[in-house]
Structure 1
Amino acid sequence: MAEGRSGFRDWMQNAVARAVLGLALALPYETRVRFTGRAVSALIAPVAGWRRRIRRNLALAEPGLDAAARERIVRAVPDNVGRTLIEIYSGEEFVTRARDSQIGGPGLPALEAARAEGRAVVLVTAHLGNYDAVRGKLSREGYPMAALYRPMENPAFHEHYLEAISTIAEPVFPTDAKGISALVRHLKGGGIIGIVADVASRKAPLLSFYGQPAHTPLSAAEWAIRYDAALIPIFGIRQPDGFTFRIHVAAEIPKGDPGAMMQAYNDEVERIVRAHPDQWFWIHNRWKTYVPRKT
């Protein structure tokens, strides 16, 4: 009986998701992106508890932020999340905008040199702007790039989600042992891999982010050392028009202790988030060690 209820629940969730996505995708591109952003901010964010999570994270990371700025971020972040979701499902319409993005930054010469030399590259990004704009841009600029994805718990939803992210660029590998092995083989062969590394895992060591302890996986740095790959932070920053992006390539992180390398990554992410606080996914539980004070 439990399995039947779970299967029915998965079916219902996927049916609702497909209906909402189908409605949005029937709209002209900019209208659908704007509509989905506003719908997620106004309807999903309060129900899902995102507004509470964002306020909690901001209180920890930015305690001096004034109320007006805080509430602007509380509403802008889910809007960006909604835009990102429907962009991922928009296929070539999104890829066209990603491909046309301006790319620059202090790390661009190192990225170009690595491609020319056939050297492996580990690109580390964050849940900011639309991180898949990076894949959409680089994969069509002569940078064959592999990436990891986290399989969805709902198998019915997962099927069309995988199709959507595969349309942007391939190959993509699941975050299981087989998928990670395939990703590493791609890197060992002199390829480029992309990792969204601003995720908390209690198995990872505690580094600093916004001056607070944050579990940060070291795998990106460890792979860069092991396979003599360049470790380069990169970000797909949404532009003021809300529909286009700028790809910022930060300076290559020098080889050294993996913890120090990933701390440099955290510091770079913090600099970007401070410049674009409404674009980072403050809905994530980045600081799992944080326990709010009782009042």
Structure 2
Amino acid sequence: MSGPSAHQARPPTQATQAAQAAQAAQAEGSREPSNPNWADEPERSNAMALRVMGWIAVVCGRRLARVVLAGIALYFVVFAARQRRASRRYLARALGREAGWRDGYRHVFAFAATVLDRVYFLRERTAWLDLRVRGAEHVDACLASGRGAFLMGSHIGSFEALRVTGRDRPELDITMLMYPDNARKINAALQALAPGASPRIIALGRPEAMLAVRERLEAGGLVGVLADRTLPGAESQRGGVVWLPFLGRPAPFSDGPFRLAELLRQRVVFMVGLYAGGRTYDVRFEPLADFSERLRDPAARAARLQAAMQAYVAQLESLCREHPDNWFNFHDFWHEDAA
């Protein structure tokens, strides 16, 4: 991987961060303060608007719903200043050039489109769907061992599209390990629209979460986690956050999912459900790391963990450059405003 050294990178010093923040403020003008903790960001969804949009999606169909969605996306591009700023910063790095309004609009619309499509995925109304799956054999190989599989993804595309791959293959039913508290309105609206759907979710931050993960894997099931965000308070825990080069600048990543895979001696498969536009989703599975062998040497374990994290970040960076409008982290990911 190009960029800073492969060992655990240090975050920028306070002086450097302050200088960068001052330069950014001079370039962008006065603005509201940003919070790098994505889980503390207020949910910008409106319960009534979600219900109306859900009604349009179910009654009027996907084509008309996407027309309405275009206006909603434009509203957020115009009025969500903090999210717009984070989006344009990310897009500039992924695109290798300054991001304009059109780039930002495509980014927001892609996110809104995947949320809309979750309605149809949950209601199993997918006749319109062009689903392309690659690499399922890697998951099959893990399942054949009888020890389940640990799937690691990111906030790219749609994890609900990943579930669709298991509709005809019950063994590919994925239980997601996730932090649901910052999207309660959207989740509640989706539950109301598809009350019969019961996606398997293990909530992060609960005392019983790790036990539930172990039980699911020991039963030969699949557990997925989106590993591109750090949980609130993780930076105060020893070894919780590792700064690695990402799109040309050190960024924080949690080592928790990797340590969990190592603790449970799991092979790890990278998963992604890319939204390719229109009615097309591109589901991919690729081998990422193998923790099935227990290493007694602490240095060897640390090196293997570091290599796995670097491989993950490299895969994430490649996808962000390939499909820049698919990465849905609309917050201060690089902690540039924190200073």
Q: TM-score, normalised by structure 1?
A: 0.79
1:150 aligns with 2:212: no
SS of 1:233's partner is strand
For residues 40-81 of structure 1, give each alpha carbon's deviation from its aligned partner in whole angstroms, at most 9, with x where no partner exists. 32112321223222112334x3584155xx443211111011
The partner residue of 1:89 within 110, 115, 119 is 119
The partner residue of 2:143 within 89, 97, 115 is 115
The amino acid across from 1:231 in the alignment is V
Match of 1:252 in 2: 288
CA–CA distance in structure 2, aligned partners of residues 14 and 138 of structure 1: 30
The amino acid across from 1:26 in the alignment is V
Q: 1:162 to 1:24 in 2, by over 3 A?
A: closer
Q: 1:167 to 1:234 in 2, by over 3 A?
A: farther
Superposed displacement of residue 173, structure 1: 2.0
The amino acid across from 1:41 in the alignment is A
Q: Does the Cα contact within 8 Å between 2:288 and 2:311 map onto a contact in 1?
A: no
Match of 1:21 in 2: 54
Structure 1 stretch 278-287 or stretch 264-273: which is displaced more? 278-287
CA–CA distance in structure 2, aligned partners of residues 205 and 97 of structure 1: 41
Q: 1:123 to 1:32 in 2, by over 3 A?
A: same
Superposed displacement of residue 277, structure 1: 0.9
CA–CA distance in structure 2, aligned partners of residues 291 and 76 of structure 1: 24
CA–CA distance in structure 2, aligned partners of residues 18 and 26 of structure 1: 12
The partner residue of 1:217 within 237, 254, 266 is 254
Superposed displacement of residue 147, structure 1: 0.7
Match of 1:54 in 2: 87
Match of 2:71 in 1: 39
SS of 1:250's partner is strand
Structure 2 matches for 1:136-215, cutoff 5 A?
136-138=164-166, 140-141=168-169, 142-152=171-181, 158-162=187-191, 170-177=199-206, 178-201=208-231, 202-203=234-235, 204-215=241-252
Superposed displacement of residue 96, structure 1: 5.5
Superposed displacement of residue 194, structure 1: 0.9
The partner residue of 1:72 within 98, 102, 123 is 102
The partner residue of 1:103 within 129, 133, 144 is 133
Q: Does the Cα contact within 8 Å between 1:206 and 1:214 map onto a contact in 2?
A: yes
SS of 1:205's partner is strand
The amino acid across from 2:102 in the alignment is R
Structure 1 stretch 43-52 or stretch 147-156: which is displaced more? 147-156
Q: 1:217 to 1:101 in 2, by over 3 A?
A: same
SS of 1:260's partner is helix
The partner residue of 1:238 within 254, 261, 275 is 275
SS of 2:172's partner is coil
SS of 2:162's partner is helix
The amino acid across from 2:52 in the alignment is A
SS of 1:26's partner is helix
Q: Does the Cα contact within 8 Å between 1:139 and 1:145 map onto a contact in 2?
A: no
CA–CA distance in structure 2, aligned partners of residues 97 and 283 of structure 1: 29
CA–CA distance in structure 2, aligned partners of residues 164 and 173 of structure 1: 21
CA–CA distance in structure 2, aligned partners of residues 120 and 126 of structure 1: 20
Q: 1:254 to 1:212 in 2, by over 3 A?
A: farther
CA–CA distance in structure 2, aligned partners of residues 244 and 83 of structure 1: 11
CA–CA distance in structure 2, aligned partners of residues 233 and 154 of structure 1: 24
Superposed displacement of residue 159, structure 1: 3.6
Q: 1:274 to 1:219 in 2, by over 3 A?
A: same
CA–CA distance in structure 2, aligned partners of residues 124 and 77 of structure 1: 23
For residues 227-263 of structure 1, give each alpha carbon's deviation from its aligned partner in whole angstroms, at most 9, with x where no partner exists. 22221111111224x2221111123324453233122
SS of 2:287's partner is coil
1:273 aligns with 2:310: no
CA root-mean-square deviation: 3.1
Q: TM-score, normalised by structure 2?
A: 0.70
SS of 2:282's partner is strand
Superposed displacement of residue 265, structure 1: 0.6
CA–CA distance in structure 1, aligned partners of residues 80 and 334 of structure 2: 19
Q: Does the Cα contact within 8 Å between 1:147 and 1:172 map onto a contact in 2?
A: yes
Q: 1:48 to 1:263 in 2, by over 3 A?
A: same
Gaps of 5+ in 2: 1-42, 236-240, 292-300
SS of 1:147's partner is strand
CA–CA distance in structure 2, aligned partners of residues 166 and 271 of structure 1: 37
Tell me which of the two structures has the higher relative contact order, counting C-alpha pairs closer than 8 angstroms and 6 or more residues apart: 2
Q: Does the Cα contact within 8 Å between 2:276 and 2:282 map onto a contact in 1?
A: yes
Q: Does the Cα contact within 8 Å between 2:94 and 2:321 map onto a contact in 1?
A: no
Percent sequence identity over aligned pairs: 21
CA–CA distance in structure 2, aligned partners of residues 227 and 163 of structure 1: 36
